[in-house]
Amino acid sequence: MQTLCLTCIEIFEVEKPLKICPQCRSRLLKSHAELNTLSIVHMDCDSFYASVEKRDNPELRNKPVIIGGNSNRAVVSTACYIARTFGVKSAMPMFKAKKLCPHAVILSGNMQKYSAVSREIVKKMNNLTPMVEQVSVDEAFLDLSGTEKLHKKLPCQLVAQLSKDIEQDIGITISIGLSYNKFLAKVASDLEKPKGFSILGQNNIKQTLAPFPVTKIWGVGKVLAAKLHQNGIETFADLQKLNEEDLLRNYGKMGSRLKYFAVGDDLRSVKPAARESGRKSIGRETTFFQDISDHEVLKVKIWDICEQVHQDALRLQKSGYTVTLKLKTNSFKTITRSQTLPSPTLLANVMFDIVGQALAKLNPKTAYRLVGVSLSNLSDVEKADPLDFLEPKKMTSQKVENAMDEIRQKFGTKSVIKGRSVKNKRPDNSLPQKPKPENF
């Protein structure tokens, strides 16, 4: 059995797990029979937005911090771990978060700063391997296969040292999942947050996964989880007992994913983001289990998609001038509505406002089976959102004022407020959540 010291980054071959490092006397040790063979890593920044704010303002270190907005219409984007002890969670309505933690420090957020920190972290990852797949602003997969010869260390040592370097040089802690495929690495990284280092090997993996709730599986949100619950499926063990044919019949293509993930299988490889100069658009869409006509329900779905498109654009370092809403009716008729902005955007709330206006003009009685949102007429991310939506204090130039007027004239007086240009008047939904893996 191998034991890794997370302090001195030495690895030891032992018969039984060590309790104290024989070299540095640290108790921060990780033992696993497959430690020297695993090379797929998921790295997840701990409470990323809140951690950046605490790093930059030491007075916040021991305080509950929530990133979101002060209006009751806002939602929680990120809650630090202190705030989470009071029951505050991401995507929770802000009014509820305030009731649970009335003494919390609520900050509006600064996406440009978070993106800059994210780029620093990814740069360090790329120094280890070109096989880095950034899936959101605060998480990435690494494939460290074949790096031992170059760096003279095992993958487990490399990623442990990387985590230390990121904390020391950038001031952000990371939770690490180490396994033999992406799905299990992702599951592992969530087991010991914050600042965790968890390992899932191949041996007895079905038994290890068996008690986990099905919500650990990518793509299993509230709707699918409720449907699984109705069918008596709560855990991985429940899925493991079912055959793939039944799952396909009941849940479509997702049925195959449920089956494979439930037994720890995942054939996907780590794919570095391609800087596709020929890419025409960035978008996401989702098909409903049941047709939806209620516009309020549709807007909840659309908001989630806008967040995913935001994350994709951020990952690709792109923005878009044109925002498009796509709908497919229950009679399979496709409806699209597009608006072109004077300046490119990648903000979720800007997309949401535009497609929301388009949706409001459609027949409220029509039922839809699919909804999608996309950005096109792409541009570089540096040109995006000149109003500096997330940093309103910097909005001083005449150019910015002219741009604000132009957007107000084109989309109405409320569009700039919803676009986060007025402090504390925005729901702060532009700060992204985790994207789902399916592409538009």
Q: Is residue 423 part of a domain?
A: no
In a domain, 430, yes or no: no
- Over residues 83-106, the mean pLDDT reads 94
**Which pLDDT band holds residue 130 (cuts at 50, 70, 90)?**
very high
- Please give the average per-residue pLDDT across 345-365, as a whole number: 92
Q: What is the mean pLDDT of the chain?
A: 84
Lowest mean pLDDT among 66-75, 76-85, 144-153: 66-75
Q: Are residues 196 and 230 in the same domain?
A: no
Q: Which of 203, 219, 253 is the last residue of a domain?
A: 203
Do both 163 and 299 map to the same domain?
A: no
Q: How far apart are CA 203 and CA 156, in angstroms?
A: 18
**Domain end marker among 186, 203, 220:** 203
Global pTM value: 0.67
118 & 242 share domain:
no
Among 12-26, 399-413, 422-436, the range of highest mean pLDDT: 12-26
Asked whether residue 191 falls in the same domain as residue 83, the answer is yes
User: Which residue, among 340, 325, 413, has the nearest Cα to 378 in the 3D structure?
Assistant: 340
Is a pLDDT exceeding 70 seen at residue 394?
Answer: no
Buried b (16+ CB within 10 A) or exposed e, 36-47: bebbbbbbbbbb
Is 350 part of any domain?
yes
The per-residue pLDDT for 273 is 67
Residue 139 a catalytic site member: yes
**Does a structural domain hold residue 148?**
yes
Average pLDDT over residues 383-393: 48
pLDDT tens-digit map of 287-313? 887 889 999 999 999 999 999 999 888
Domain that holds residue 343: 281-418
- Is pLDDT at 397 greater than 70 in this prediction? no
Residue 391: inside a domain:
yes
Does 424 have pLDDT greater than 60? no
Residue 246 sits in the same domain as residue 324: no
Confidence of residue 145 (pLDDT cuts 50, 70, 90): very high
Is the N-terminal amide bond of 194 cis, ω within 30° of 0? yes
Domain count across the chain:
3
Please check whether residues 357 and 218 belong to one and the same domain: no
Is the confidence at residue 414, as pLDDT, over 70? no
Give the pLDDT confidence score for residue 331 in this predicted structure: 84
- What distances in angstroms separate CA 137 from CA 215, 292, 384, one per listed residue? 22, 31, 16
| 14, part of any domain | no
Let me know: does 355 contact 411? Beta carbons within 8 Å: no
The residue-averaged pLDDT of 145-165 equals: 95
Together in a domain, 252 and 297: no
Q: Which residue has the higher pLDDT, 14 or 383?
A: 14
Higher pLDDT, 285 or 115: 285
Same domain, 197 and 215: no
Claim to verify: residue 248 and residue 150 sit in the same structural domain: no
What's the mean pLDDT in 266-291?
80
CATH of the domain at 60: 3.30.70.270
Residue 432 within a domain: no
CATH number of the domain to which 362 belongs: 3.30.1490.100
In a shared domain, residues 180 and 296: no
Q: Please calculate the CA angle 212-264-163 and round it to the nearest 5 degrees.
A: 80
> For 20-37, what is the mean pLDDT?
94
pLDDT at residue number 180: 97
Query: Do residue 223 and residue 364 come from a single domain?
Result: no
Query: Given a cut of 60, is residue 431 above it in pLDDT?
Result: no
Mark whether 232 and 164 lie in a shared domain: no
Report the pLDDT value the prediction gives residue 153, as an integer from 0 to 100.
95
Do residues 72 and 426 touch, judged by C-beta distance below 8 A? no
Which of 53, 133, 139, 285 is flagged as catalytic? 139
Which residues in 114-137 are b (16+ Cβ under 10 Å) and which e?
beebbeebbeebeebbebbbbbbb
Q: Is residue 141 part of a domain?
A: yes
